């Protein structure tokens, strides 16, 4: 039962953090959203900071797990890259509120929490760098700095949380395919 209440609290916090921002959301706002007294809320969470940190962990770990599954396949590097972009886009659009909170609010906590979040995001960045390096080693990609390439790709993909609309002209999969094609063309351009 407590687990379900925590999930309800986390879901309410995600909605409030997305709508109002982390700093503008009070613990009382979260308590009100789930029908608890402020003091009772602390039975389930230690602090608002801890709640945002857990939400951030959950979001980043979701991205990491999905990409690790793709990396572990025997697919050619271009297909792993394409699947990675698709999976990234699907995750952002499927969990749009949580992704928004992650991308907009994760570094609102200050140290030492920001260091933990940097470590988690670096883990994900390193997986993308690994795919790009494998493409370079296979002679498929030509990239001067795979980390900069990965940062550029993730920056473009992550910005989707700002403009994607479920009822828009393209589905998340169609956008992912367009982005993957664009990035793959760029990664291959310098090959001789």
pLDDT in tens, 39-87: 999 999 999 999 999 999 999 999 999 999 999 999 999 999 999 999 9
Chain-centroid distance of CA 32 in Å reads 28
Number of domains in the chain: 2
Q: Would you state the pLDDT for residue 190? A: 60
- The pTM assigned to this predicted structure is 0.86
pLDDT of residue 9 exceeding 80, the answer is: yes
- Regarding whether 35 and 85 lie in a shared domain, the answer is no
Q: What is the CA radius of gyration of the chain?
A: 19
Q: How confident is the model at residue 1 (pLDDT cuts 50, 70, 90)?
A: very low
- Between vectors from CA 183 to CA 134 and to CA 187, what angle results, nearest 5°? 45
| C-alpha closest to that of 90 among 19, 161, 156, 147 | 161
Task: Answer for the pair 16, 25: CB distance below 8 angstroms, yes or no.
Answer: yes
- Regarding whether 113 and 54 lie in a shared domain, the answer is yes
- Regarding whether 61 and 28 lie in a shared domain, the answer is no
Sequence-ordered strand ranges (E) for 8-68: none
- Regarding whether 102 and 36 lie in a shared domain, the answer is no
- Regarding whether 93 and 25 lie in a shared domain, the answer is no
Q: How confident is the model at residue 159 (pLDDT cuts 50, 70, 90)?
A: confident
- Regarding whether 58 and 41 lie in a shared domain, the answer is no
- Regarding whether 18 and 52 lie in a shared domain, the answer is no
- Regarding whether 54 and 6 lie in a shared domain, the answer is no
Q: How confident is the model at residue 147 (pLDDT cuts 50, 70, 90)?
A: very high
Instruction: Domain of residue 7: give its range.
Output: 1-45
- Regarding whether 70 and 10 lie in a shared domain, the answer is no
Q: DSSP label at 107?
A: G
Q: In CATH, what number is assigned to the domain containing residue 128?
A: 1.10.357.10
């Amino acid at each position: 039962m407590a687990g379900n209440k925590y999930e309800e609290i986390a879901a309410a916090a995600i909605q409030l953090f997305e709508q109002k921002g982390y700093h503008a959301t009070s613990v009382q706002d979260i308590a009100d959203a789930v029908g608890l007294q402020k003091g009772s809320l602390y039975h389930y969470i230690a602090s608002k900071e801890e709640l945002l940190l857990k939400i951030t962990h959950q979001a980043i770990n979701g991205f990491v797990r999905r990409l690790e599954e793709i990396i572990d396949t025997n697919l050619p590097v271009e297909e792993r890259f394409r699947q990675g972009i698709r999976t990234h886009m699907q995750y952002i659009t499927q969990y749009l509120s949580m992704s928004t909170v992650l991308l907009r609010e994760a570094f609102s906590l200050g140290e030492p929490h920001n260091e933990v979040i940097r470590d988690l995001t670096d883990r994900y960045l390193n997986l993308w760098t690994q795919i790009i390096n494998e493409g370079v080693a296979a002679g498929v990609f030509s990239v001067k700095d795979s980390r900069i390439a990965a940062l550029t790709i993730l920056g473009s993909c992550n910005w989707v949380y700002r403009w994607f609309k479920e009822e828009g002209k393209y589905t998340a999969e169609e956008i992912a395919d367009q982005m993957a094609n664009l990035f793959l063309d760029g990664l291959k351009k310098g090959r001789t």
